[in-house]
Structure 1
Amino acid sequence: MTSISSSKPPFWYWIVCAIALIWNGMGVMQYLGQAYNTDAFRGQYTTEQLELLADTPAWVTAAFALAVFAGVTGALALLLRKKLAYHLLLISLLAVMAQMVYNLFIIDSIAIYGPGAATMTAMVILFAILLLWFSKKAIAKGWIS
């Protein structure tokens, strides 16, 4: 019988996991605000932008939901030191990419929402890539099993 050795993660591992959970939790809150069309959500956008959001295809909304819920679940798996985190964060990244293809190339969100859309898009993609890389490194280092 073989045993899998697991080493204790460094202190900063937990900080990264907490940031990942907060970041993805904010994504879940944004998704729920959009899905339930809350006053706080509507207050972030102009009437024209809200109309455009209302016309968003179902596949994009599904990609958004998959990205944020897989991301938050992946962050929880990192906190629980489970390898499943890698697969969940991969799903999250793929869903992010699908959503961003729509936002950047189909509707040109930068022209609609302004230059802040480019910054947010870059941050979302970068965080998804970094979290996937981090989970892979955590597996290689034996921090998660």
Structure 2
Amino acid sequence: MKSNKPKASYWIISAIALLWNAMGVNAYIQQAYQTESFKAMYTEEQLQLIAEAPIWSTAAFALAVFGGFFGAVALIMRKKWAHYLFIFSMIAVLVQMYYNFIIIDSLAVYGPGATIMPIMIIVFGLILIWYSKYAMKKNWII
């Protein structure tokens, strides 16, 4: 199977995917190390809720962001395993969202505006799963 040269849009989408997922990695690292800029974004009640999260939820967060980041790297490297990393990342996102929205009532603590970012994360993740599959069909990634 011969690989085809991707269009310029492929590289733009891959770069955006890398930047988006790098922001996720940054968010995870800030939370893991409890940086001052991280703490400044939340109330004491919200920080307490974050601190009380079970290890499996925190692990899901880490797997989601690092899976997405390495999926974006694989996309840039034109590797088809990007698709599988994006699927893996989405599963981890859904596990984390299950904790945040089903097990705890994060809406009560963070407010209705807190649904915007999770929706964006899910939509962007689904787009990357679809796009990586599309790139496989076009033989842009092998």
TM-score by length of 2: 0.98
Q: How does 1:117-132 map to 2 (within 5 A)?
A: 117-132=114-129
Q: Tell me which residue corresponds to 2:60.
A: 63
1:47 aligned to 2:16?
no
Q: Deviation above 4 Å: which 4+ runs of structure 1? A: none
Deviation per CA, 1:102-135: give whole Å up to 9, x if none: 1111112222111221111100111111101110
Q: Provide the alpha-carbon RMSD of the alignment.
A: 0.7
Structure 1 alignment gaps of length 5 or more: none
Structure 2 alignment gaps of length 5 or more: none
* Greater Cα shift, 112-121 or 39-48: 112-121
1:98 aligned to 2:102?
no
Q: Tell me which residue corresponds to 1:89.
A: 86
Please give the alpha-carbon distance, in whole angstroms, between the structure 1 residues aligned to 2:130 and 2:14. 13
1:27 aligned to 2:24?
yes
Secondary structure at the aligned position of 1:133 is classed as: helix
**Paired residue for 2:76, among 55, 79, 83?**
79
Secondary structure at the aligned position of 1:6 is classed as: coil
Secondary structure at the aligned position of 1:16 is classed as: helix
**Paired residue for 1:11, among 8, 12, 16?**
8
Deviation per CA, 1:17-75: give whole Å up to 9, x if none: 11100110000000000101110110110011000100000000000000000100000
TM-score by length of 1: 0.96
- The number of residues matched between the two structures is 142
Q: Counterpart amino acid of 2:97?
A: M
1:109 aligned to 2:124?
no
